[in-house]
């Protein structure tokens, strides 16, 4: 309202106040590598984890590639990242806890504030993993699923206990030299999830992992590998937050997923990093014959996000979906989208992207749709809609399409809309405040995504959007 117009300083304070997870714990890590990165630091991480020789070699090879690989010259400006001012490995506690109560007090409180133990207690989840800095500090999986052969471990335990499976898949879907940040993750990875779902097993409730950065100048490099065997199903959900610091932190994950014949995997992310985190993530899945892979990717936080979940439709009849939503507020650049490669006949895909820009934020849809020679009768639909809330904000669309086969059906639609004065007036004339009215238009805009989320995540996403909208209208 006109009489409560805020100065830019007050506005910034309001925005920070709206981020509820900006607090941090004062905990001394039990071990950490020195700031910066070289071969010794890579060796130290591997040695500390008692890894097999092949993994140490893989890390070193990756590190060497990281050093010589250039930063991407497209997307966001990453030249501001100071790789020497980051801690690459930070171990918060000596041992993974089997009970939340076994965690140090401050850390336990943090998880409570994030609501993770409560969600687990309410049995909304079949399994929970909680990563704090570089290590997964708590992990649990329902007994019944364990008995049916489902594996849900942190990646380090996965490597120790199931080296054969890990060695077979690790780095095969996203090779160490895929891009600079995949190389970095391959060199210094720690934590993340390892999941195996045996043939025919359907995991009804989601498995959830939560990633928390606590320390300043932290680099978090979790590594996730999910294998869904024939006709099996799993829904994996991840969330993440970090404290607000004046210096930058780096989050660079790699997620590889293999969905075998007839299997289905849904991977849902609600990314809500604080706005001093660079979020540069590589996610890719392979879908075999008649398999389905679905990425539901929500990006609300971070300073810069570059993330394009990908599906390689390798087997005939495979189906891939990317539902992407990005919210770019003050000082944020969300460069998000999806990549689909049709490699076999009769494969189908849908990419739906929704972005919202406000207060000078910038969102970009960047997508690749590729149809290989021989992938006949493939069908794909790409829809990207952008909503701009004010004149200072920006949105761009970069749809790359590469079709090498004629007998295909491809659709692409893009719209950009501004939040309409008429829509706001209409809702306000029914008694809604300006903030309520804007939040309602925005929540309607992202409804195609929220309706795909489990109820509690849909509620959370809408709540986050409402917080983002607070103080956003003058």
Partner 1 sequence: MADLKIRDLHASIDGAEILKGLDLELSKGQVHAIMGPNGSGKSTLAHVLMGHPAYEVTGGSVEFEGNDLLEMEADERSRAGVFLAFQYPSAIPGVTVANFLRTAVNAHRRGDDGSANPISVREFRAQLQEAMEGLKIERAMTSRYLNDGFSGGEKKRMEMLQMAMLTPRLAILDETDSGLDIDALRIVADGVNRQRSADLGVLVITHYSRLLRYIKPDVVHVLVDGRIVRTGGPEVADELERDGYARYGVEEEATV
- Residues at the interface with partner 1 (CB under 8 A): 1, 420-423, 425-434, 436-437, 440-441, 443-448
The residue to which tokens 């290989």 are assigned:
372
Please, are residues 360 and 334 in contact by the beta-carbon 8 Å criterion?
A: no
* Assigned token pair, 464: 């986050």
Please report, to the nearest 10 degrees, the dihedral formed by the alpha carbons of residues 118, 120, 125, 128 taken in order: 120
Residue 432 beta carbon to partner 1: minimum distance, rounded to whole angstroms: 5
Residue 184 beta carbon to partner 1: minimum distance, rounded to whole angstroms: 38
What's the rounded Cα separation, in Å, for the pair 289 and 315? Answer: 4
Q: Which is nearer to partner 1, 177 or 423 (CB)?
A: 423
Q: Which is nearer to partner 1, 170 or 457 (CB)?
A: 457
Q: Which is nearer to partner 1, 147 or 391 (CB)?
A: 391
What's the rounded Cα separation, in Å, for the pair 77 and 58? Answer: 29
β 151-154/193-197 pair status: antiparallel
Q: Which is nearer to partner 1, 358 or 366 (CB)?
A: 358
* Assigned token pair, 352: 């739906």
Residue 351 beta carbon to partner 1: minimum distance, rounded to whole angstroms: 19
Number of alpha carbons in the 13 Å side-chain half-sphere of residue 344 = 17
Q: Which is nearer to partner 1, 60 or 383 (CB)?
A: 383
What's the rounded Cα separation, in Å, for the pair 5 and 474? Answer: 6
Residue 397 beta carbon to partner 1: minimum distance, rounded to whole angstroms: 19
What's the rounded Cα separation, in Å, for the pair 391 and 421? Answer: 13
Q: Which is nearer to partner 1, 331 or 448 (CB)?
A: 448
The answer for residues whose C-beta is within 8 angstroms of residue 182's C-beta and 6 or more apart is: 174, 175, 176, 254, 282
Number of alpha carbons in the 13 Å side-chain half-sphere of residue 89 = 24
**DSSP output for 5-47:** PPPHHHHHHHHHHH-TT--------SEEPPBS--HHHHHHHHH
Residue 369 beta carbon to partner 1: minimum distance, rounded to whole angstroms: 25
Residue 270 beta carbon to partner 1: minimum distance, rounded to whole angstroms: 18
Torsions phi, psi of 123, nearest 5?
60, 35
Residue 441 beta carbon to partner 1: minimum distance, rounded to whole angstroms: 6
Residue 79 beta carbon to partner 1: minimum distance, rounded to whole angstroms: 38
Q: Which is nearer to partner 1, 293 or 446 (CB)?
A: 446
What's the rounded Cα separation, in Å, for the pair 234 and 206? Answer: 7
* Assigned token pair, 406: 């004629």
Residue 7 beta carbon to partner 1: minimum distance, rounded to whole angstroms: 21
Q: Which is nearer to partner 1, 23 or 426 (CB)?
A: 426
What's the rounded Cα separation, in Å, for the pair 270 and 256? Answer: 18
Residue 430 beta carbon to partner 1: minimum distance, rounded to whole angstroms: 4
Find, among 307, 306, 297, 251, the residue nearest to 276 by Cα: 251
Q: Which is nearer to partner 1, 217 or 443 (CB)?
A: 443
What's the rounded Cα separation, in Å, for the pair 188 and 221? Answer: 7
Q: Which is nearer to partner 1, 7 or 429 (CB)?
A: 429
β 31-32/219-220 pair status: unpaired
């Amino acid at each position: 309202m006109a009489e409560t117009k805020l100065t830019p300083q007050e506005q910034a304070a309001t925005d920070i106040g709206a981020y509820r997870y900006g607090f941090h714990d004062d905990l001394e890590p039990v071990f950490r590598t020195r700031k910066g990165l070289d071969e010794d630091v890579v060796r130290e991480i591997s040695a500390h984890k008692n890894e097999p020789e092949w993994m140490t070699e893989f890390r070193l090879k990756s590190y060497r590639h990281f050093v010589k690989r250039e930063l991407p010259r497209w997307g966001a400006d990453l030249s501001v990242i100071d790789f020497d001012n980051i801690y690459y490995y930070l171990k918060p506690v000596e041992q993974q806890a089997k009970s939340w109560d076994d965690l140090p007090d401050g850390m336990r409180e943090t998880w409570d504030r994030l609501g993770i133990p409560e969600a687990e207690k309410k049995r909304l989840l079949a399994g929970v993993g909680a990563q704090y800095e570089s290590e997964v500090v708590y992990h649990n999986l329902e007994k019944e699923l364990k008995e049916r052969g489902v594996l849900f471990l942190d990646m380090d335990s996965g490597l120790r206990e199931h080296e054969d499976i890990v060695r077979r898949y690790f780095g095969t879907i996203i090779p160490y030299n895929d891009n600079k940040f995949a190389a970095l993750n391959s060199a210094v990875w720690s934590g993340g999830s390892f999941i195996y779902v045996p043939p025919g097993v359907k995991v009804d409730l989601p498995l959830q992992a939560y990633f928390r950065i606590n320390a300043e100048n932290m680099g978090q490099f979790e590594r996730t590998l999910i294998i869904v065997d024939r006709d099996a199903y799993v829904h994996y959900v991840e969330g993440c937050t970090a404290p607000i610091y004046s210096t930058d932190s780096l989050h660079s994950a790699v997620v590889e997923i293999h969905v075998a014949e007839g299997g289905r995997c849904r991977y849902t992310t609600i990314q809500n990093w604080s706005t001093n985190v660079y979020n540069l993530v590589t996610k890719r899945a392979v879908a075999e014959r008649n398999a389905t892979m679905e990425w539901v990717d929500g990006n609300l936080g971070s300073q810069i996000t570059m993330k394009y979940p990908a599906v390689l439709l390798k087997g005939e009849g495979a189906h891939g979906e990317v539902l992407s939503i990005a919210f770019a507020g003050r000082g944020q650049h969300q460069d998000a989208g999806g990549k689909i490669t049709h490699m076999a006949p009769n494969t189908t895909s849908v990419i739906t992207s929704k972005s919202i820009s406000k207060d000078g934020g910038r969102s970009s849809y960047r997508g690749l749709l590729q149809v290989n020679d021989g992938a006949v009768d493939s069908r794909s639909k790409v829809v990207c809609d952008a909503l701009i809330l004010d004149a200072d904000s920006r949105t761009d669309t970069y749809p790359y399409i590469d079709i090498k086969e004629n007998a295909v059906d491809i659709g692409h639609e893009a719209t950009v809309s501004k939040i309409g004065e008429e829509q706001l007036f209409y809702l306000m004339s029914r008694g809604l405040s300006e903030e309520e009215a804007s939040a309602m238009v925005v929540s309607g805009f992202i409804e195609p995504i929220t309706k795909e989320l489990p109820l509690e995540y849909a509620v959370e996403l809408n709540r986050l959007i409402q917080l983002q909208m607070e103080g956003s209208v003058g």
